Amino acid sequence: MSERALRGTRLGATSYETDRGIDLAPRQTVEYACVNGHRFEMPFSVEAEVPPQWECRACGAEALLVDGDGPEEKKTKPARTHWDMLMERRTREELEEVLAERLAILRSGGINLAVHPRDNRKSA
């Protein structure tokens, strides 16, 4: 058998590497607290941007950074109404022209409002 073979070990069971001679990155410890009262600490690199919220280790709820700013509010677009979409396509002057044309057609009797084309009811 080869001299380099390791007897009595399984693949992935243990690591034979040591931390000697390795300089770890500078770290900071940040504390989080969840709504259920759990408090825990997380290590982060000094260079890392610390997130304002983290999942609680104990219950899985959202935990917020202790002594930190809350999470930023997400920007939401206001709901677009039909009027907003119409104003994207036409100016107010154009809309007044269309309205005046339609009112003129109605007043001249060009459209018969008594019988609607979709009205399939039989008159009694």
Residue 28, token pair as written in the block: 């900071």
> Can you name the residues that pair with 81 across neighbouring β-strands?
none
38 annotated ligand-binding residue = yes
Q: Determine whether the annotation assigns residue 116 to a binding site.
A: no
User: Would you tell me how many other CB atoms lie within 10 Å of the CB of residue 32?
Assistant: 23
Q: Which residues are 31's β-sheet partners? A: 41
Q: Is 28 annotated as a binding residue?
A: no
Query: By three-state DSSP, how is residue 27 classified?
Result: strand
Please give the annotated binding residues for Zn(2+), written as ranges.
34, 38, 56, 59
Please give the annotated binding residues, written as ranges.
34, 38, 56, 59
